[in-house]
């Protein structure tokens, strides 16, 4: 039976009728529609609309509907998930099923179901994101943990003299790599420092999702179609049963608000943005030109034409699929903009972008985490890259500054030394004292010490900097913060 045929003389145009249905996609909301219907039925019993027996029969039918799940085949006579649940309760429990819609409207139901769906997705995505972040923290640990011990003495090895410590560094020491600005080598950093930069992005993503969850966690049920329900329903009890923090405050807003859906997909857009930046950098670092990492075979594919190829398809697809999430965010904005209060059917169009973005990001995160756990770094190559390109120039200038030379002059003097090195095809630590003299620099032993990798790292000794003891601290903090998110198990209906 239709939910609204009484006042019509004729049925809808067949094509229009099918075209306006949402059951092909809102069937996904079935578990939430059932949970919300159970809470409503209990409130109806408390208000005297359902007898004890009627409530029991209704709840048994609703539980059965939840355990059956949405039907395999689409039924063209069913308009939406709300219609499906009501019709199925009637099939299972008889006439009493027609009482279930007393004092409620599909406008408040869809607003509630969608909130419950987004809340459950936030909980799942929180776990996935925290696990992804953990994979970075583990790699950071492997890349430098043993030598993070503070009692370990400094290692005075010139950047260009890798022979003494390349072997030692591979896979176990404070592994170092160049950090880039403008995609040009800028300064050496610990590999762990670089990896932890990504963890910061994911921690912000986690925070944004938690914030969105907090704001969405209010219950529209009891708002009716727009002005509030016509029955004395206990809205606080309904909200509590569905684990919402409180009932919504205004029935007009409650039935038309989709801010939570927009916020959610915006937060996912940033997750996708971070994933795509990560994918891009790893694609670059996996090229023969960089050679910083080895693509895991289980996340790569070959070429049908070129036998030698191993392609970073997992990363490329993550980068590519990010675009779809932005499309969903844009679609949501455009569907919701300019709508007069309160419910308008346009709002039906806000469902699919939410489903699609959640599913997209969740699958991207699963693949990304597997990749990140499997990837191996070529620390030797990273170290080599960090050992050339005058990345100790700033440390050299800092040494002159410590001797009282104004920074601008120090910058100029070291710049001249770099020019000489370029002409002679050597690095700063290889330039002779005599040559430094020509540049106006008295290069003593301490000056050469300032050029060593250890010193270059050590001078970045500020919170958030790349000095090893600072990175160790950041790693500990990041792990603690991630574990807080993993520990948040939100019970969901
Ligand atoms: N399928 C509808 C939606 O998603 C449910 C609400 C229908 N309300 C109405 N007044 N026609 O928006």
Tokens of 290: 């960089």
Distances, alpha carbon 45 to alpha carbons 38, 107, 225, 233, 251, in Å: 11, 22, 21, 9, 22
Active site residue 143: no
* Ligand 1 geometric centre to CA of 123 (Å): 26
The answer to whether the CB of 255 is under 6 A from ligand 1 is no
- Residue owning the nearest CA to atom 3 of ligand 1: 348
Report the pLDDT value the prediction gives residue 152, as an integer from 0 to 100.
37
Which 3 state secondary structure label does DSSP give 358? helix
Reply yes or no on whether 160 is catalytic: no
Q: Give 270's Cβ-side CA count (13 Å radius).
A: 17
Q: Chain centroid to CA 33: how far?
A: 27
Q: Is the CB of 352 under 6 A from ligand 1?
A: no
CA atoms within 13 A on the CB side of 288: 4
Q: What burial letters (b/e) apply to 370-396, b meaning 16+ CB within 10 Å?
A: bbbeebebbbbbbbebbbebbbbbbbb
Say what the pLDDT of residue 147 is.
41
Protein residue with its CA nearest to atom 4 in ligand 1: 348
- Alpha helices, H only, 375-452: 379-386, 393-402, 407-424, 433-438, 445-450
Please identify, by atom number, the ligand 1 atom nearest to the C-alpha of residue 343. Answer: 10
Tell me how far apart the alpha carbons of residues 142 and 463 are, in angstroms, rounded to a whole number: 21
User: Could you give the CA distance from residue 235 to residue 463 in angstroms, rounded to a whole number?
Assistant: 49
Cα 340 off chain centre by: 33
Establish whether residue 22 lines the binding site of ligand 1, counting it when its CB lies within 6 angstroms of any ligand atom: yes
CB 453: neighbour CB atoms within 10 A?
A: 27
111 vs 33, 91, 185, 225, 301, CA distance in Å?
10, 26, 51, 11, 43
What secondary structure letter does DSSP report for 442? -
Backbone Cα Rg of the chain: 31
Atom of ligand 1 nearest to the CA of 22: 1
Task: List strand residue ranges (DSSP E) for 165-281, in order.
Answer: 176-181, 184-190, 218-219, 246-247
What residues have CB less than 8 Å from 407, skipping those under 6 apart?
397, 401
5, 303, 409, 432: which is the annotated catalytic residue? 303
CB-CB contact of 439 with 400 (8 Å) = no
φ, ψ of residue 248 in degrees (nearest 5): -65, 160
For residue 173, the model assigns a pLDDT of 47
How many residues would you count in the chain? Answer: 493
CA distances 160 to 50, 156, 389, Å, are 83, 12, 10
Kindly state if the Cβ of 343 falls inside 6 Å of ligand 1: yes
Residue 304 C-beta-side C-alpha neighbours within 13 Å: 0
So what's the pLDDT on residue 492? 40
Q: Give SS3 for 35.
A: helix
Q: What is the pLDDT of residue 467?
A: 92
pLDDT value for 488: 65
Q: What tens-digit pLDDT sequence spans the chain (493 residues)?
A: 888 888 999 999 999 999 999 999 999 999 999 999 999 999 999 999 999 999 999 999 999 999 999 999 999 999 999 999 999 999 999 999 999 999 999 999 999 999 999 999 999 999 999 999 999 999 999 887 434 333 333 333 333 343 333 333 333 347 999 999 999 999 999 999 999 999 999 999 999 999 999 999 999 999 999 999 999 999 999 999 999 999 999 999 999 999 999 999 999 999 999 999 999 999 999 999 999 999 999 999 888 888 888 899 999 999 999 999 999 999 999 999 999 999 999 999 999 999 999 999 999 999 999 999 999 999 999 989 998 899 999 999 999 999 999 999 999 999 999 999 999 999 999 999 999 999 999 999 999 999 998 899 999 999 999 999 899 999 999 999 999 999 765 544 3
């Amino acid at each position: 039976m239709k939910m609204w045929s009484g006042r019509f003389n004729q049925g809808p145009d067949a094509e229009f009728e099918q075209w306006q249905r949402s059951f092909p996609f809102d069937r996904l909301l079935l578990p939430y529609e059932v949970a919300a219907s159970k809470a409503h039925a209990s409130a109806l019993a408390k208000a005297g609309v359902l007898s004890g027996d009627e409530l029991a029969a209704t709840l048994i039918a609703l539980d059965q509907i939840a355990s059956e799940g949405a039907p395999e085949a689409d039924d063209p006579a069913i308009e939406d998930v709300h219609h499906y649940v009501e019709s199925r309760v009637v099939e299972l429990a008889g006439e009493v099923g027609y009482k279930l819609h007393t004092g409620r409207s599909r406008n408040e139901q869809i607003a509630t179901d969608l909130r419950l769906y987004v809340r459950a997705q936030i909980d799942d995505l929180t776990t996935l994101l925290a696990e992804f972040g953990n994979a970075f923290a583990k790699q950071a640990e492997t890349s430098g943990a043993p030598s993070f011990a503070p009692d370990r003495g400094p290692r005075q090895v010139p950047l260009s003299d890798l022979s003494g410590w390349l072997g030692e560094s591979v896979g176990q020491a404070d592994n170092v790599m160049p950090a880039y600005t403008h995609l040009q080598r800028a300064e050496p950093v610990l590999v762990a420092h670089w990896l932890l930069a990504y963890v910061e992005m994911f921690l912000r993503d986690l925070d944004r999702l938690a914030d969105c969850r907090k704001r969405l966690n209010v219950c529209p049920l009891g708002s009716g179609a727009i002005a509030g329900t016509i029955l004395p329903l206990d809205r606080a009890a309904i909200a509590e049963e569905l684990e919402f923090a409180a009932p919504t405050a205004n029935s007009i807003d409650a039935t038309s608000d989709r801010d939570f859906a927009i916020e959610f997909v915006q937060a996912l857009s940033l997750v996708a943005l971070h994933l795509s930046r990560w994918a891009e950098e790893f694609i670059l670092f996996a090229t023969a030109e960089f050679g910083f990492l080895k693509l895991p075979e289980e996340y790569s594919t070959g070429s049908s034409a070129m036998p030698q190829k191993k392609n970073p398809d997992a990363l490329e697809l993550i980068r590519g699929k990010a675009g779809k999430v932005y499309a969903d965010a844009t679609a949501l904005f455009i569907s919701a903009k300019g709508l007069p209060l309160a419910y308008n059917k346009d709002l039906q169009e806000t469902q699919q972008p939410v489903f699609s973005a959640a599913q997209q990001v969740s699958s991207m995160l699963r693949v990304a985490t597997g990749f990140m756990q499997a990837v191996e770094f070529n620390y030797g190559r990273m170290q080599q890259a960090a050992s050339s390109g005058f990345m100790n120039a700033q440390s050299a200038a800092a040494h002159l500054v410590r001797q009282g030379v104004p920074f601008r002059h120090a910058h100029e003097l070291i710049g001249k030394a770099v020019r000489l090195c370029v002409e002679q095809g050597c690095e700063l630590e290889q330039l002779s004292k005599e040559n430094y003299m020509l540049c106006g620099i008295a290069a003593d032993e301490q000056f050469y010490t300032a050029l060593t990798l250890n010193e270059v790292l050590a001078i970045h000794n500020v919170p958030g900097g790349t000095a090893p003891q600072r990175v160790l601290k950041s790693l500990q903090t990041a792990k603690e913060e991630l574990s807080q998110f993993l520990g948040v198990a939100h019970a969901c209906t």
